[in-house]
A and B are shown apart, each in its own frame.
Chain A
């Protein structure tokens, strides 16, 4: 049923029969012989018919541009200055590309609100004319060095449209993503407003902790809000009303007793073991104990055979992170009869760790999750029996707040300050405008098109059946 609705929505968005005269236009800004103009011969790939590297690159830009053209209604061309350059890269890390809105306008003719910055393309749509005809609306540049075999191992850009990128990076989805930034999923500035004017994106950026939107906050409040992970949300009606069409129900980790710790807890998942959403677990949560030895000097890290197997059997093992791998801990708990594993972080971090496998893990058959260090301390401090587990909550959406607002990305460490101009990574299935380009993306503009509608974009008009009959 859900797929049917999604398909119908995709077809609706794919229709371009009644769009305005404007379209997304790619402007080739490359010098002869490089980037779009690279004449190196290549074989057509994944539906991309180009026979030179430059042609294939340009075809990808154009296909992404056409996708957005079909979804948006404007009478003014949206000019995307496209380019390629050799950007910073190494064997293990690289800059893949950049996007910039080339100008922002306020108080232009037909502006919906005064003293608000609008990105060039959206300002032009409202004004009905090109306010900055001397320049393009956005600039999108990608790293051509990725194709030289000098960056990121032997990876390269994948120029096909069929999703068969393997270990490579699909340029098509990345261009779709970057154009969305240029259309308005960005701000003129982050927390410190230029000329004290917010950007249109900020009008729907809501901090659910203090109940204020960004345009209602002081700069100091915004600086706190930008890292308020799990509490920064989008309150636009177009997104909120359609969230359930695109997001599945959330999987939650809930402690049900004792009352001092009864609540839902944020948790991280493992790349090994069964899916926690497909393998619900519940029962007593019991601190695992093991012998101190050279491999694992602590008695709570589960790095050797558990010594309280009788208590663990049939229950959920609570184990501290550290000393040995996540997989070893899971295997020791499984051997003791645990039905699931909770690994408590051993360092201060606001986000529980995502857990990878550092060795063979196919024989881990019980679900494994992680919780924060503070939450682990709180659970261990309880003298009464602790019960809880993982379940699918039909009242909540994966990637949405308790109030039903879709969450924005507000990381509190490592990539801190990355951007609130993305959906939170807890969204499931993956969305186009998450900060990570996930391999399971389909050719969908998902909630992203509705976010653009919340800031003022419109979709092509859909004529009634009667009008169709007249044709």
Chain B
């Protein structure tokens, strides 16, 4: 429960962090947070709550719902195979599937 709460908070923090334009965002030297405190699980990426942002003279604007998540596997030949998926179930199927099943490319000639 605590972990899930932290993940949601981390996603929210990533989305809400104050922004700065490219020109005024010079990299600075800081100590990175420990890896284990920052790692986001797959589920958190799809945990976005949609909602109405505004409604009025400028029409209706609603928040994000769909996301595209890029996942990767090492196939049986040692090559990197990627897939761009838009739901947690598809991402999990790709990541957990037997390795010989993940290459769905067909009739591709180069």
Hey, which chain B residues are within 8 Å of A145, CB to CB? 35, 39
Verify A426–B108 contact, CB threshold 8 A: yes
Chain B residues with a Cβ under 8 A of chain A: 10, 14-15, 17, 19-22, 25, 27-33, 35, 38-42, 45, 48, 50, 53-54, 57-87, 89-91, 93-95, 97, 99-110
Verify B73–A93 contact, CB threshold 8 A: yes
* 8 Å CB contact of A415 from B39, B72, B75, B94: B94
5 A-B pairs closest in CB distance: A33-B30, A108-B59, A32-B30, A28-B25, A54-B27
Number of A-B contacts (CB under 8 A): 286
In addition to A33-B28, A131-B59, A351-B104, 10 A-B residue pairs with Cβ atoms within 8 Å of each other are: A39-B29, A58-B22, A58-B25, A93-B73, A106-B59, A111-B59, A178-B68, A356-B75, A415-B102, A418-B85
Verify B68–A52 contact, CB threshold 8 A: no
Query: Which of B30, B61, B65, B77 has the most C-beta atoms of chain A within 10 angstroms of its own C-beta?
Result: B61
Interface of A is mostly: loop
Hey, which chain B residues are within 8 Å of A95, CB to CB? 42, 45, 69-72, 91
* 8 Å CB contact of A85 from B38, B66, B97: B38
Hey, which chain B residues are within 8 Å of A36, CB to CB? 25, 27
Name the residue of chain B whose CB is nearest to the CB of A80: B22
Verify A358–B85 contact, CB threshold 8 A: no
* 8 Å CB contact of B107 from A30, A148, A269: A269
Verify A32–B28 contact, CB threshold 8 A: yes
* 8 Å CB contact of A62 from B19, B22, B81, B89: B22
Q: A93-B71, A96-B71, A414-B97 are in contact. Are A429 and B39 (CB under 8 A)?
A: no
Hey, which chain A residues are within 8 Å of B99, CB to CB? 92
Verify B27–A52 contact, CB threshold 8 A: yes
CA distance A155 to B108 in the complex (A): 25
- Whether, in the assembled complex, A311 has its beta carbon less than 8 Å from a beta carbon of chain B, the answer is no
